[in-house]
């Protein structure tokens, strides 16, 4: 049994997928984790996500907590709220839209050893429209090259992070670039990193907020700003990791 885990889901207009997602999550946690909590960050949803979460919170209390943003703060804002609310030794998160299967979580937990700070999933195959697959590959390659990040799939939001490391780093991104910022700063700590292949499924409900022209332009602008802050004008405390580099292995 895994000792201690916070699980959280950023949610934006994900009302249809949340009941089955949370049902599966609690079943997995009950079987594989001794001490756990589940958090959903409702990031200013405009559908009936709030009502669905109210019912789910009553059903799963006190193990489920809901954090509500009255206004949408962006993907980065939702992740930052989830990380700040987590209280257990490790933190796992994935999106609330159900494109990843929480039943694969034990595979990541098995890799979270004593010196491991990050266990990152990578998509075995991406099930999205062709243009989204192309954009995703281009974004991932561009970000990995620009920031010198070693993990293969920055865009895979299915990861386990040691909470003590989250307390050492300061995240400021408000868009999807937070994934680049998070992984880069974790790699700079010199922690051991593991990678595990996970399945990716077609979106059953709603639409992605990332693959829109305005969102893409905003994301790439923030990516360049992030590059200036983390690579060009890197602060001394971030330029001096505990060790020379992260130790990688994969499954």
**pTM of structure:** 0.89
CA–CA dist 137, 24 (Å, integer):
29
**ω into residue 62 within 30 of 0, thus cis?**
yes
- Report the pLDDT averaged over residues 102-120: 96
DSSP 176: T
Condensed to tens digits (0 to 9), the pLDDT of residues 117-172 reads 999 999 998 867 787 788 788 888 988 999 999 999 998 999 999 999 999 999 99
Q: What's the pLDDT score for residue 206? A: 56
In the block, tokens 């999106």 appear at 95
For the record, the structure tokens of 176 come out as 């999807």
Burial of 244 (0-12, 13-18, 19+ CB in 10 A): exposed
Q: Give the number of domains in the chain.
A: 1
CA–CA dist 176, 77 (Å, integer):
9
Q: Which residue segment(s) compose the domain that 78 sits in?
A: 2-250
Domain harbouring 36, CATH code: 3.90.550.10
Condensed to tens digits (0 to 9), the pLDDT of residues 168-197 reads 999 999 888 999 999 999 999 999 999 999
Among 42, 43, 52, 98, CA closest to 74: 43
Q: What's the pLDDT score for residue 16? A: 96
- Report the pLDDT averaged over residues 12-21: 96
For the record, the structure tokens of 40 come out as 């959903």
Which is more confidently placed, 244 or 135?
A: 135
Among 168, 134, 148, 162, CA closest to 237: 168
| 128 φ, ψ (degrees, to nearest 5) | -140, 165
Mean pLDDT of the chain: 89
Q: What is the dihedral of CA 132, 107, 13, 204, to 10 degrees?
A: 60
pLDDT at residue 241 is higher than 60: no
Q: What's the pLDDT score for residue 126? A: 81
Among 191, 6, 193, 33, CA closest to 92: 6
CA–CA dist 201, 206 (Å, integer):
14
Condensed to tens digits (0 to 9), the pLDDT of residues 209-231 reads 554 556 667 777 888 888 888 88
């Amino acid at each position: 049994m895994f000792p201690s885990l916070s699980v959280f889901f950023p949610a934006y207009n994900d009302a249809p997928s949340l009941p089955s997602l949370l049902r599966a999550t609690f079943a997995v946690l009950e079987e594989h984790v001794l001490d756990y909590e589940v958090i959903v960050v409702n990031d200013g949803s405009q559908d009936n996500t709030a009502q669905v979460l109210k019912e789910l919170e009553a059903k799963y209390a006190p193990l489920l907590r809901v954090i509500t943003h009255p206004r949408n703060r962006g993907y980065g804002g939702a992740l930052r709220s989830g990380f700040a609310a987590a209280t257990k030794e490790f933190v796992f998160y994935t999106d609330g839209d159900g494109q990843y299967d929480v039943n694969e979580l034990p595979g990541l937990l098995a890799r979270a050893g004593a010196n491991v700070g990050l266990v990152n999933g990578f998509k075995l195959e991406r099930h999205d429209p062709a243009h989204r697959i192309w954009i995703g590959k281009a974004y991932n390659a561009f970000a990995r090259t620009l920031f010198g990040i070693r993990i293969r799939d920055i865009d895979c939001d299915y990861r386990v992070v040691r909470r003590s490391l989250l307390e050492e780093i300061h995240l400021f991104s408000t868009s999807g670039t937070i994934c680049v910022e998070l992984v880069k700063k974790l790699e700079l700590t010199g922690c051991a990193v593991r990678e595990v292949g996970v399945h990716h499924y077609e979106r059953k409900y709603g639409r992605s907020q990332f693959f829109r022209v305005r969102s893409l332009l905003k994301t790439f602008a923030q990516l360049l700003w992030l590059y200036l802050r983390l690579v060009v004008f890197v602060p001394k405390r971030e330029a001096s990791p505990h060790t020379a580099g992260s130790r990688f292995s994969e499954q």
